[in-house]
Structure 1
Amino acid sequence: MARTAALKGAGTGLPVFLTAGFRLYFLAAGCFAVLSIAAWIGWLGLHAAGGAFSEAPMAMAPYLWHAHEMIYGYTVAVMAGFFLTAVPNWTGSPSARSAFVATTGLVWLAGRLAIWFSAYFDPLAVAVIDLAFIPLLGLKIGSNLLKKTQLRNVIFLGLLTAMFTGNLLMHLEWLGWTDDTAIAGTRLGLYTSAAMIVIIGGRVVPGFTRNALNRRGYSGQLPQVRPALDKIAILASVLAAVASALPVPGVVLGSLCLVAGIANGMRVAGWRGLLTWREPILWVLHLAFTFLAIAYLALAAAHLTPFLDETSALHLLAIGAVGGMTLAMMTRASLGHAGRPLIVAKPIAIAYLCVFAAALVRAFGTGFLDYFQTMYLSGALWLLGFGLYVWIYLPILAFRNSAAD
């Protein structure tokens, strides 16, 4: 009886996971991270064994399905959980009501089902269903930001618009209305996700680190924040996102990535990350941001030199930077907003390392393994990392503290 009661929101009759945006979307993102990669690895295994679906459930090429769902399924869900929690704090406006959380959650889920079973539906219906989520999220965020104008946060509306545009580019090709825009859509979504990390991470990583170091008496060794460098890093990352979807010469995109990599590397180097080694909830933020800088440099190398292929660099960005930072933010924000101490369980530290290892294996594993071995090992590491996250955070996100503790 106590466990059943714990599933209910206080006085609302709703399950607890529907009472806050971070609860629903961080839980959905974790479960989806496991399910989607398990499906992808399963498809690769079937292909490696010489098998094939007699009738694939998705209408698009499987690799495009995989890219789409990791960007516009998983990553967008994390963005929703973050923005529905952070924007009310930024603006002093009320948090999203349970009805909005539940309704938009159903829209997000409908988009996933429409994509996964797109072979059985009209492609226009699939597009309408899948494209509906980001505008709903953007309207909610925009209405809150307009109540208390904060110019530095308006950029997130532009970035959400870029995410919508990337998703639209993919659907336009699948509708047969354009040629060769799906790949541009994946790049735009991934580079835009990276730009969000450049902005949000640039605020929270040194801030959280400063607070922790002050508590530990390191007042003379606090993170260094240089506004001019921040502006260069943000401008380069946003321009790289725009360029990634346009038919620009590789030297242009590569040069923007080079500037973004150097600037973000200089930023994180001044944030005193080595002093956080005792606290996984902090060092993971520094490590994820370091992966971001390295991934930008890898992308620069892929576009400016013949020594690295773009696919490896993109996965370094997708898994190490986006995957690592989203996991870091979900684990921290869930504890803070659920009223729990900001100390992660030991299995979560292992989960962090698994995701970063998955990025390295996927990016460079073919140097010592064959393609399928690389994919299986990287996928297994990802599944272990996010499996641990779901195992530890299911009770945190789905139950009240009194029932979960």
Structure 2
Amino acid sequence: MSRPTPYTGPAFLSYGFRPFFMVACLFGLVAIPFWMLIWQGELTLNSVLAPVDWHSHEMIFGYGAAVIAGFLFTAVPNWTGGMPTRGRPLLLMLVLWLCGRFAVFGVLPLPWWGVALIDSAFLIVLAILIAREIIAGRNWRNLMVLIPVSLLSLANLFFFAETAWTGEAAVGRRLGLALLIFLVLLIGGRILPSFTRNWLNKAGHSRLPAPFGGFDKLSLLVSAPALVIWVIWPQTPVAAAFILMAGLLQFIRLGRWCGFATRHNPILAMLHIAFFFAPLGMIVNAAAAMGLLSADLGLHIWGIGAIGGMTVAVMMRATMGHTGRALVSGPVLNLAFAGLVLALIGRLWRYVELPAGLTGLDLAALLWTASFALLCWRLVPWLASGRAARKKANQVKAD
């Protein structure tokens, strides 16, 4: 049997998390300042999408898709024992993602269907590559991950089609957001108790998180149709009832994972905090469906808190782990995550007047950008360099 050829190319293309986590961090840094300039009328958008749709689309199908690609290109080889996608194929995927960003922003003069095809191609090819690896490794239990990823690629096409037909993508925005939230529930619900159990075992704790079982399956089986109903009929009592039930089940699920015990391990506690915002957003969206709260609140609890928080926490942990660094976040990354939580609070109080003529929305944008600046400062050098840090036996600090 011939052995796999050792990889000798650039370190940047040696593993999927490196290029895609890097562009996700950099994109997260510039996307919100760009959006604020567009929102304030200081920058003209030449996109086939309306400004609000551009903002939603790029955070879901731009930033979100990059993090998903980085995670799956790294996790699937570990699940299957196969060789990771690297080198030229990884570079081509990165170029495809970048072409999507330029096309959606309006740099490439294309009709809506041309932009849709270029941008949606990235998620379609990603699903094909991941499916090939899972099938080749006969890792059938992880085929479920392909369902929301494949649906996300179709949701992207629908997003553009809805905009062309109706002038806005109200359903497409909810659909993309719901699929990312389901991925948080699905993948976060697998890695979070596993990481917590490993750490508590090493720390000598007797109480451990409940293993994935029947209750987890029930909560996911309820959450999936609840999200579908919310996407299609968001302002109805039926949507309120289903999304409320799903949120309560996910809160109970989170409570079974010993989250309070991780308070002395920030890189692990971040995952619990981020997951918390998923059921919280469900409860708030249920209240919004009954006309008790603004629908805008639940959307941003999900977008900033659950999706932003979970993706940032996963990128931190995966980058440290796969570059040989201790899984200790340190003050810079702790501050980056705290900034996201504060950005969410500012966004929820968007109309509050602050000193210097700022609003809660301005504060949220500043805090989000500062958080991603800290994230880039710490992670980008690690992602770009091929040198792995040496783990010291008694290392207690990463900074």
Does the pair score TM above 0.5?
yes
Q: 1:248 to 1:75 in 2, by over 3 A?
A: closer
Partner of 1:383: 369
Residue 68 of structure 2: which of 57, 79, 101 is its match? 79
Partner of 2:378: 392
Q: Distance in 2 between matches of 1:150 and 1:257?
A: 32
Contact preservation (8 Å) 2:116, 2:156: no
Residue 335 of structure 1: which of 320, 326, 338 is its match? 320
**Corresponding pairs, count:** 385
Q: CA deviation at 1:180?
A: 6.1
Q: CA deviation at 1:233?
A: 1.8
Is 1:172 aligned to residue 187 of structure 2? Answer: no
**1:2-39 deviation digits (Å, cap 9, x = unpaired):** xxxxxxxx97343x222210000001100000111110
Q: CA deviation at 1:247?
A: 4.5
Q: Distance in 2 between matches of 1:390 and 1:283?
A: 21
Partner of 1:122: 111
Counting only pairs closer than 5 Å after superposition, residues 26-41 of structure 1 correspond to structure 2 as 26-41=21-36
Q: Distance in 1 between matches of 2:72 and 2:131?
A: 11
Residue 313 of structure 1: which of 298, 322, 326 is its match? 298
Q: 1:281 to 1:248 in 2, by over 3 A?
A: closer
Q: 1:56 to 1:282 in 2, by over 3 A?
A: closer
Counting only pairs closer than 5 Å after superposition, residues 171-190 of structure 1 correspond to structure 2 as 171-174=160-163, 176=164, 178-179=165-166, 182-190=169-177
Residue 273 of structure 2: which of 287, 297, 315 is its match? 287
Q: CA deviation at 1:249?
A: 6.2
Contact preservation (8 Å) 2:343, 2:368: yes
Partner of 1:231: 217
Q: Name stretches of at least 5 consecutive residues in structure 1 with no aligned partner.
A: 1-9
Partner of 2:3: none
**1:236-266 deviation digits (Å, cap 9, x = unpaired):** 2222333344357622322222122111111
Is 1:57 aligned to residue 53 of structure 2? Answer: no
RMSD: 2.3
Q: Distance in 1 between matches of 2:389 and 2:321?
A: 17
Q: CA deviation at 1:342?
A: 1.0
Contact preservation (8 Å) 2:340, 2:368: yes
Q: 1:183 to 1:248 in 2, by over 3 A?
A: closer
Partner of 2:133: 144
Partner of 1:6: none
Q: 1:126 to 1:145 in 2, by over 3 A?
A: same
Q: Distance in 2 between matches of 1:248 and 1:117?
A: 31
Is 1:359 aligned to residue 355 of structure 2? Answer: no
What's the secondary structure of 1:401's corresponding residue?
Answer: coil
Is 1:299 aligned to residue 295 of structure 2? Answer: no
Q: CA deviation at 1:272?
A: 1.3
Is 1:268 aligned to residue 254 of structure 2? Answer: yes
Q: CA deviation at 1:402?
A: 5.5
What's the secondary structure of 1:96's corresponding residue?
Answer: coil
Contact preservation (8 Å) 1:57, 1:119: no
Partner of 2:203: 216
Contact preservation (8 Å) 2:24, 2:67: yes
TM-score (normalizing by structure 2):
0.90
Contact preservation (8 Å) 2:103, 2:118: yes
2:214 maps to a residue whose letter is A
Partner of 2:236: 250
Partner of 1:4: none
Residue 12 of structure 1: which of 8, 14, 29 is its match? 8
TM-score (normalizing by structure 1):
0.89
Residue 38 of structure 2: which of 40, 43, 66 is its match? 43
**1:130-167 deviation digits (Å, cap 9, x = unpaired):** 11101110000101111233443222211012211221
Residue 241 of structure 1: which of 218, 222, 227 is its match? 227
**1:58-83 deviation digits (Å, cap 9, x = unpaired):** 23211110000000000010000000
Contact preservation (8 Å) 1:205, 1:286: yes
Q: Distance in 2 between matches of 1:237 and 1:101?
A: 33
Contact preservation (8 Å) 1:165, 1:185: no
Contact preservation (8 Å) 1:335, 1:341: yes
What's the secondary structure of 2:232's corresponding residue?
Answer: coil
Q: Distance in 2 between matches of 1:297 and 1:392?
A: 35
* Same amino acid, percent of matched pairs: 35
Is 1:193 aligned to residue 188 of structure 2? Answer: no
Q: CA deviation at 1:360?
A: 2.1
Which of 28-37 and 264-273 deviates more?
264-273
Which of 354-363 and 322-331 deviates more?
354-363
Q: Distance in 1 between matches of 2:390 and 2:166?
A: 51
Q: Distance in 1 between matches of 2:226 and 2:168?
A: 17
1:283 maps to a residue whose letter is A
Counting only pairs closer than 5 Å after superposition, residues 91-102 of structure 1 correspond to structure 2 as 91-102=80-91
Contact preservation (8 Å) 2:233, 2:239: no
1:130 maps to a residue whose letter is D
Q: Distance in 2 between matches of 1:127 and 1:226?
A: 38
Q: CA deviation at 1:114?
A: 0.3
Q: Distance in 2 between matches of 1:250 and 1:76?
A: 30
Q: Distance in 1 between matches of 2:331 and 2:54?
A: 34
Q: CA deviation at 1:98?
A: 1.3
Contact preservation (8 Å) 1:280, 1:349: yes
Q: Name stretches of at least 5 consecutive residues in structure 2 with no aligned partner.
A: 1-5, 392-399
